[in-house]
Structure 1
Amino acid sequence: MRLIIVDDETSVRDALADRLREEAFDVESVGTALEFYRGMAGNGYDIAIIDVDLPDESGLDIAAWLSEKGRVGVGLMTSRGDLEDRLALRRSGADFYLLKPVDGDELVEAVRNVARRIVRGERAESDVGAGPADWFFDPSQWILQSPDGQAVKLTAAEVSFVGRLALQPGSAVSRSELRTELGYGHDRSGDRNLEAIVRRLRKKLGALGERAVPIQTVHGTGYLFSGSLRIDRRKHSGADREKSIQPK
């Protein structure tokens, strides 16, 4: 998940960014709306956390713009707490809002909730900021697409597995958490079912000719997705569909 924090108070945004990085989120922070828009044009983000009182534009206006685009999760931060201000926050289209000073743990939980909805395909499609080395995961179509554009059709269990890894990019997810996500028992049988999913998924991805299959084992812990992964509803071309590998 790529996140951006927009707050003109350097100490605030740095502290919140550090807290989110502790949870393995990829976070950038900027101080103005202008810097935010430049970042959106150049990089693209999955979730934006924005202070309402920015020096060059209201965070409410940014949230409304993002809501219309329907492609980025939005959180707002404000020091205002009266009824009129709370109503304005609710009308903004943001996914959540927090009163300042923002508690780091509360922010982490709010971001995780939005990230889960994004992984489950509840946000509109976006190709903003896609890099040439990105894998793309489309949970709504059960598709995982390699950096060179080849699409693999996933099973329901594989969608759940990849979606859980996507919540912690570059960090290991424990076998216990993965068994829970997949509805498997916490016993040897559950382990065997999890290992079977990993084997099948690696076989599918290996058939694409990728030099490095991005499902990596972290011994003593679990698994991680080692590639750069974006969660999007992709517009798959006819050529992509022809190259798609169907599950057996």
Structure 2
Amino acid sequence: MSQHDLPSPRVAVVEDEDELRGLIVEELGERGYDVVGLASAEALYRHMSVQALDIVVLDIGLPGESGLGVASHLRQLASVGIIVLTGRGGKKLMAQSFEEGADLFLTKPVDYDVLAVAVANLHRRLAPAMNGPALDDQDAPTWSLSDAGWTLHGPDARTLALSEAERTILARLLEQPGTPVSRTALIEMLTDQPWDFDPHRLDVLVHRLRGKVSSRFSQPLPLRAVRGVGYVFAP
């Protein structure tokens, strides 16, 4: 697959320095990338709860959760590409970045041509994973719902009848596997009075669902919590 056959990568630039973030967003945008600038890990997680990403350009020195923590967290969720961009060089930091899940390590000051090429090459390399399984794997068993969402099917061909709340949660998460869904969005689907809904009830529902699946199927349910956001179905 050539670069010209791929859609423009969806890129998030996570950088707390406003001027630099704006410059990077502008430079990548002029090169045809679909790019958004975000100032913190929290802002990134909120964005990912409503919009899938292909590449994250990540500063290490972020307020709150560090870029290395974000890289580790992203690597557990999906096949998003991670480019660490930092003013602190050195082999030790580079090695740590790769250990936490970074695909590439670039240093400041930013060379915009190098960054643009890095985004393009990483997007091309990760494209098969981002676009789903290879043709030979299309018929591989996976998690799915049937009977209007009331029955969960696992990779081992076993099934589980779901409650109304479980059906609601799984149906929403399975719409976009790998994309986090906010706790607020899930709660609003469970009740018409979300302001009276104890958020801990959502955690209890997920915990019980995982337990039911573990006792019924040979594999655990790949439903994971996303820190500061909500939940994601990440098979």
TM-score scaled by length of structure 1? 0.49
What does 1:37-186 correspond to in 2, within 5 Å?
Answer: 37-119=45-127, 121=128, 123=129, 138=132, 140-141=134-135
* % same residue: 34
Cα distance in 2, alignment partners of residues 96 and 112 from structure 1: 12
Which of 10, 16, 30 is 2:18 aligned to? 10
1:171-225, Cα deviation, whole Å (9 max, x unpaired): xxxxxxxxxxxxxxxxxxxxxxxxxxxxxxxxxxxxxxxxxxxxxxxxxxxxxxx
Q: If each structure's helix is expressed as a fraction of its own residues, which one has the higher value? A: 2
Which moves more between the two structures, 75-84 or 20-29? Answer: 75-84
Cα distance in 2, alignment partners of residues 102 and 79 from structure 1: 9
**8 A Cα contact 2:85 2:105, kept in partner:** yes
Which moves more between the two structures, 79-88 or 27-36? Answer: 79-88
Matched, 1:36 2:44: yes
Cα distance in 1, alignment partners of residues 48 and 24 from structure 2: 20
Amino acid in structure 2 at the alignment position of 1:84: K
Shift of 1:141: 2.3
DSSP 3-state at the match of 1:97:
strand
Cα distance in 1, alignment partners of residues 90 and 122 from structure 2: 25
Amino acid in structure 2 at the alignment position of 1:105: D
- Closer, same or farther: CA 84–29 of 1 in aligned 2, 3 Å: same
Gaps of 5+ in 1: 126-136, 144-231, 234-248
Gaps of 5+ in 2: 1-8, 138-176, 179-235
- Closer, same or farther: CA 23–139 of 1 in aligned 2, 3 Å: farther
How many aligned residue pairs are there? 131
Shift of 1:97: 1.3
1:7-36, Cα deviation, whole Å (9 max, x unpaired): 001111111111111121100001111111
Shift of 1:84: 2.1
Amino acid in structure 1 at the alignment position of 2:38: V
Q: CA RMSD in A?
A: 2.2
**8 A Cα contact 2:79 2:126, kept in partner:** no
Partner of residue 171, structure 2: none
TM-score scaled by length of structure 2? 0.52
